[in-house]
Amino acid sequence: MVTTRLEGAIGALEIGEKKEAEGDLCRAHMAYETAINDFMHLALVECDSADAVKTWVANQPLQIALDGFVRISNFVIAEPRSEWTRYFQSGNYLLIAFSHFCSALGQHERARFLSQIATEPVLFSTAFWAEYSKVYDALSTGRYYSPKFGKFAFLDKYVSCYVDLMLAVMQGEPLGSPLAEIDRQFILRNADRRMNDADAYMIEGSAEYPVKFDFRKAGLLATIAHTKTGAII
């Protein structure tokens, strides 16, 4: 499975490079997105720490896919917003995930770029992820935002603990309790067969495809540490 997924990631990257060279930026962007998702899945399945992930990434062409995705995204955001949905067909979910992953890798400027795009209302999003993106954007810029959540869907219940962490930071509250809950939920969803379908991109963790590394927790902690130095990601 790992070999097949790695081959798929490399194949998607090659398609992205080919389509970009041909000027087909929409297909190139989608191919780069697929490559990043596949590489990210493999890193999370194989690595159990930020250092291990960084080492893994250094030995794979994930960075090339990220460079291509960001390069075309820079072009897209200069276009009318009506064009954005053709490129960001996965909506804001993967943009947020990629942003957290970049933060975990120490790529804070890139993480900020992706998180800003994720807040755009024109992009496809569920109500939960629309609010999540606003909380994350506020955290990244040292502001406060009070989310307006409705009824949680299944996956939302598992990842709402990350919102609690962000809100605790904004409100100056101790982080011990939300971090403990994040660790608890991470263990639970990695053993939950219902996550097999809910984790469509295979990066959150499920009974079928458990992951060793919590990219959301690592990314948020990196963002928190970075913003507390006075810098804005």
Q: How confident is the model over 200-217, as pLDDT tens digits?
A: 999 999 999 999 999 999
Residue 171 lies in a domain: yes
Cα separation values, 90 from 5, 40, 101, Å: 19, 16, 17
Q: Encoding tokens for residue 125? A: 């999003």
Q: Encoding tokens for residue 166? A: 């962000």
Taken as a whole, the chain contains a residue count of 233
pLDDT digits (tens, 9 = 90+) for 60-79: 999 999 999 999 999 999 99
pTM over 0.75: yes
pLDDT band at 231 (very low <50, low <70, confident <90, very high): very low
pLDDT band at 232 (very low <50, low <70, confident <90, very high): very low
Sign of CA dihedral 213, 93, 117, 14: positive
Residue 233 lies in a domain: no
**Residue 99 in contact with residue 219, Cβ under 8 Å?**
yes
Residue 123 lies in a domain: yes
Instruction: Return the residue matching tokens 């608890």.
Output: 184
**Residue 216 in contact with residue 201, Cβ under 8 Å?**
no
Q: Encoding tokens for residue 78? A: 């200069």
Q: What is the total count of domains within the chain?
A: 1
Residue 58 lies in a domain: yes
Per-residue pLDDT at 227? 85
User: What burial class does residue 228 get, using C-beta atoms within 10 Å of its C-beta: 0-12 exposed, 13-18 middle, 19+ buried?
Assistant: exposed
Q: Which domain holds residue 9?
A: 2-227
Residue 232 lies in a domain: no
pLDDT band at 12 (very low <50, low <70, confident <90, very high): very high
Cα separation values, 49 from 44, 56, 161, 223, Å: 9, 11, 20, 16
